[in-house]
Amino acid sequence: MKRFAAIALPLLVAYAATLWWVVERWNAPTRYYEHGWLLPFLAAFLIWRRRAEWRAVPAVADRRALWLVVPALLLHLAGALLTIDSLSATSLVLVVPGAAWLAFGRARLAGLWPVLMLVLFAVPPPLYLEGKIGMLLKELAVTGGAGVANLLGAEVTRAGADLAVAGQPRSLYVAEACGGLRSLLAMVTLGYCIAFFRGGRSSMRRLVLLLFTVPLAVSANIVRIASLCLMARHFGVDFAEGTGHTLANIAEWVADVAALLVLDALLTRWTGGDEVGSGDGARDAPAAVVPAATPPRAALRAPAIALWLIAPLLLLLSLYRPSAAGQGSDRAAHLPTALAGFEFVPPPPAVVAQRRRDMPQWIDLLGTDDFVVRQYRESDGRVVNAVALYHDANWKSVHPPRICIEGSGFDIVVDEIVAAPWLDGGSTLSRIVARGTDGWLYVTLSAYGTRDWSAGSYWRFFLYHLPRALLRRADSGFLLRAETPVYRGESVDEATRRSERFLRALVPIVREAL
């Protein structure tokens, strides 16, 4: 193990901050990656179980592994320079197997590659990607669950993430954590473990098992939501959200695991029993012939020295983050209650309670708690739904508005960048026209900005902040959204002007708080 320590120890130093970020994502309120805690222990157990077999093969340092290690370190360097933790974390997928290959050689690792590739399931994706996939899965689960429940007589009416069940005084709310991403990630990981660490070694068996986990997890979550709707219909929403929710979760997991095991048994029978391995990731091919004598440890000396030279630099870059000019907190909460003829409409207690329950997940997704969601109403009764979010050095977690709109069940009809001559001498706004689940059209205008810059394009927002992160400085900024329905008798352009009038009054106020 000394030869592995010579490579692993400097890499642990270089990746210390990145590994901490990974652990934080495992502990995130969404709980999407809580299964990550099991993977290091599973990998250690599988390697220990095969210790006699791999120890029998001499370790031979193999510098060809640098084709994995060097790109991984460059990717980590890019992530550290740009303060993009997910980019650095992605490089773990290359550096973990690369370090083992460099220290021990391919012959000793024969049969252990599936164990090393468990790192694929331990590294969370970027928050932007996680949020987009999560919202798409939630939309599929809510739509499918309500549809199946209605086929079974639940009489469900959907309004966004709320499922109103006939005869019940309040709606059944589908939270972000129930959207299906958590079960999908866990099921894909479980499917991989069944495919590679037990049963037959047929490539067809493994491929089918891996492909089957995705539709299995998605369809099981749809059935789970449908069952909750039926429980709410017959036993009440309180039961469905309490005891019923627990029972449905248990039933879903039992059904998922049973389905995978049954499929595995059938595939093993079809592909032939002679391909059955030892159940612990047995080697897929005989070990290659290795030299009788192991080359001296000097073969690892140069790579180890190089890693120790760059490890402190990578750690320093990962830890030292830019501080934003104008950094603050609790700015969004102080938005005015009246502006440009619009008056703030306090939400009902049930909505306030639901937002409070969802707040930890939203803070985790957005990277800040400095945001508000409000509704404003004109004297004629027409409303604008406003979102105001402040960011400091955490600009990377700000999402394009399209993601939230699609995640709320809206079908986007128009997505464009429009001119805003009144904003910073000719800037732009994002304009999205979408149809809601209620059949109405909605117009959403959005803008990113700082004290002296703004744009409606997420790409321009990204390019504005990226070089500042590289130079270890950042600007505090904001994301504003103004959404309004297209009321009967008015055009999309008239609704657009209402949202624009609201934003024109709000932008100077938001900037004043920076």
Closest C-alpha among 453, 413, 457, 419 to residue 435: 413
In whole angstroms, what is the distance from residue 347 CA to residue 335 CA? Answer: 15
Mean pLDDT calculated for residue range 158-179: 80
Confidence band, pLDDT 50/70/90 cuts, at residue 277: very low
Confidence band, pLDDT 50/70/90 cuts, at residue 291: very low
Any residues with CB less than 8 A from the CB of 371 and at least 6 apart, and which?
A: 332, 362, 387, 388, 389, 390
> To the nearest whole percent, how much of the chain has pLDDT over 90?
49
Contact in structure between 442 and 486 (CB atoms under 8 Å):
yes
pLDDT at 82: 83
Radius of gyration for the alpha carbons in the chain, expressed in angstroms and rounded:
27
Q: What is the pTM of this model?
A: 0.80
Confidence band, pLDDT 50/70/90 cuts, at residue 292: very low
Mean pLDDT calculated for residue range 189-217: 91
> To the nearest whole percent, how much of the chain has pLDDT over 70?
93
pLDDT of 56 > 60? The answer is yes
pLDDT at 283: 47
Write out pLDDT tens, residues 463-482.
998 888 888 777 889 999 99
Mean pLDDT calculated for residue range 4-22: 92
Q: What is the token pair recorded at 66? A: 């640098």
Confidence band, pLDDT 50/70/90 cuts, at residue 12: very high
pLDDT: is 433 or 165 the higher one? 433
Mean pLDDT calculated for residue range 408-436: 89
pLDDT of 288 > 50? The answer is no
Write out pLDDT tens, residues 222-269.
999 999 999 998 899 889 889 999 999 999 999 999 999 999 999 888
Mean pLDDT calculated for residue range 366-370: 81
Closest C-alpha among 221, 214, 313, 303 to residue 260: 214
Q: What is the dihedral of CA 311, 314, 319, 323, to 10 degrees?
A: 160
- The domain limits of the chain are 2-110+295-319, 128-275, 324-512
Q: What is the token pair recorded at 401? A: 């508005």
3 state SS for 65-124: HHHHHHHHHHHHHHHHHCCCHHHHHHCHHHHHHHHHHHHHCHHHHCCCHHHHCCHHHHCC
Contact in structure between 481 and 401 (CB atoms under 8 Å):
yes
Whole-angstrom CA distances from 166 to 80, 149, 223, 225, 380 are 53, 12, 19, 16, 32
pLDDT of 495 > 70? The answer is yes
- Return mean pLDDT, the chain: 86
In whole angstroms, what is the distance from residue 389 CA to residue 448 CA? Answer: 10
In whole angstroms, what is the distance from residue 115 CA to residue 108 CA? Answer: 13
Whole-angstrom CA distances from 366 to 99, 145, 169, 385, 462 are 34, 27, 32, 19, 15
Contact in structure between 398 and 389 (CB atoms under 8 Å):
yes
- Residue 264: how many other CB atoms lie within 10 Å: 21
Write out pLDDT tens, residues 411-424.
899 999 999 988 88
DSSP one-letter code for 160: T
DSSP-derived 3-state class of residue 426: coil
Whole-angstrom CA distances from 144 to 165, 222, 385 are 15, 6, 27
In whole angstroms, what is the distance from residue 222 CA to residue 206 CA? Answer: 25
Confidence band, pLDDT 50/70/90 cuts, at residue 323: low
Quickly list DSSP for 309-377.
Answer: HHHHHHHHHHH----EET--SS-GGG--SEETTEEEEPPPHHHHHHHHHHHHHHHHHHS-S-EEEEEEE
Confidence band, pLDDT 50/70/90 cuts, at residue 441: very high
